[in-house]
Structure 1
Amino acid sequence: MFSDQKSAWNKLLDGNRRWLDDRSTGAGNRGADRRAALSQSQAPFALVVGCADSRVPAEILFDQGLGDLFVVRTAGHVVDSAALGSVEYAVGMLGVSLIVVLGHEGCGAVAAATGVVDNAAVPAGYVRDIAERIAPDVLRARHDGATTPDEIGARHSLYTLDLLRERSSVVDNAIRSGAVEAVAAQYCLSTGAVTEIRAAVPAAA
């Protein structure tokens, strides 16, 4: 555990820099000894709510080992009841000190939602549910001045953080009390860099 929440975010950023520089050390904490040490309990320091895209593995791009991160991944980091329950478990039961909503450039789920908004191009099957959940964020992002797909995706991460607070008193109370820090971030597929999305996230009413 860390002395303050900001150090947890800095730890992730430091890990991302190591990974960018090809100086990763996280693999040393993914072996048999670490696995054995975690066999009876876990104490992750951060929760990452991210996209299920195969190119965005949180433990690797943040250069962390087994047991360091509690990760919830869905396409477009859509928050349904199962995802929300997982988030509340990490905050309320495991005591993480940091929540990161991690979006990424070129997100197919955001692109599908944009297609719904612009062209009424509704995907088939359950992909439709994902696109329709994100579509209101596309409209909201444009209202807030976003124009490019990456700007819309970044706003979607911010709005997902809003949604977590609006739907979960566990999450909102933890952030209000200062027990948990919340950060929205964007991952660049081409460079591998993670950047914090610097915009105010309003507290839930």
Structure 2
Amino acid sequence: MCGDETRAKISRRSAIAIGMAGAGALLSPAALAQTVSDPGSAAAPTSPEEALQLLKEGNARYVANAPVNTDHSLERAKRSAGQRPFAAVVACSDSRVAPEIIFDQGLGDVFVVRVAGNFINEDGLASLEFGAAVLGVQVIVVLGHTACGAVDATITSVEDRKLPPGHLPSLVEAIRPAVYDVMQQDPADLLSAAIAQNAKLNAEKASASEPVLAGLHDKGKLMTVAGVYDIATGIVEFL
């Protein structure tokens, strides 16, 4: 029995490794079936454009206080068999930003990568590659938000020419390019401009990431967009 279980685990790991190898190639249907089970939720979108539209419609429901995904106990047993998210969201760790709620999606619909300042590092890229190549994500949203403390701290660091203590400099280093970009334009609202630019730069980074994400973009199987979530109104503005 133990030998059978070990061989099954090795088989699943091999399927993932083989599928992730190559220039953005997706796993074959047979290999994909070994790593992802259909939890039996709503029909998946048929294109990245349709996937994005589902997020837009969900946000509209959230803003109107008319969500449809309110009973998270529904199909809990089916979800335990696997996941098939249609979208990935790179979100800030801010406790007021909850992608599943903001876009009114059910559990298992959104693959979320979170870090303060919603930037994409190597770990984030690897997570997004897994979401797109293995789980079948069709759209990636890099989601900034109003009053972002990480971006604000980066602006302060740049203006004061002083790094914050501890491990916070790693956040500053990641967000600083967006701050430098908008400072040259002398915007009326530096924080808002930097938040938007940070989302844009990281969306561009994801879409250009070779070989996996860029390959899926080239084939029309994946779309990456930037957006900013307004905490006060609930509205997501896609940039």
TM-score, scaled to structure 1: 0.90
1:15 aligns with 2:46: no
- Structure 2: gaps (5+ residues): 1-43
**CA offsets per residue over residues 26-52 of structure 1, 9 Å max, x none?**
123x21x42211112110000001111
The amino acid of 2:45's aligned partner reads F
Corresponding residue of 2:177:
136
- TM-superposed CA distance for 1:146, in Å, is 4.5
Distance 1:36 1:18, change over 3 A: same
Corresponding residue of 1:43:
84
1:152 aligns with 2:194: yes
Corresponding residue of 2:145:
104
1:117 aligns with 2:117: no
Structure 2 Cα separation of the partners of residues 3 and 39 of structure 1: 24
The amino acid of 1:97's aligned partner reads Q
1:72 aligns with 2:106: no
Q: Select the structure of larger CA radius of gyration.
A: 2
The amino acid of 2:59's aligned partner reads N
Aligned-partner SS, 1:26:
coil
1:183 aligns with 2:192: no
Distance 1:144 1:162, change over 3 A: farther
Aligned-partner SS, 1:78:
coil
Please say if residues 207 and 223 of structure 2, whose CA atoms lie closer than 8 Å, have aligned partners that are also in contact: no
Please say if residues 96 and 180 of structure 1, whose CA atoms lie closer than 8 Å, have aligned partners that are also in contact: yes
The amino acid of 2:214's aligned partner reads D
Structure 1 Cα separation of the partners of residues 76 and 119 of structure 2: 30
1:172 aligns with 2:214: yes
Structure 2 Cα separation of the partners of residues 110 and 98 of structure 1: 24
- Structure 1: gaps (5+ residues): 198-205
Structure 2 Cα separation of the partners of residues 175 and 147 of structure 1: 35
1:55-94 paired onto structure 2 within 5 Å: 55-94=96-135
Distance 1:35 1:168, change over 3 A: farther
Corresponding residue of 2:12:
none
- TM-superposed CA distance for 1:121, in Å, is 3.1
Cα RMSD (Å): 1.5
The amino acid of 1:182's aligned partner reads T
TM-score, scaled to structure 2: 0.77
Aligned-partner SS, 1:12:
helix
- TM-superposed CA distance for 1:85, in Å, is 1.1
Distance 1:27 1:113, change over 3 A: same
Aligned-partner SS, 2:180:
helix
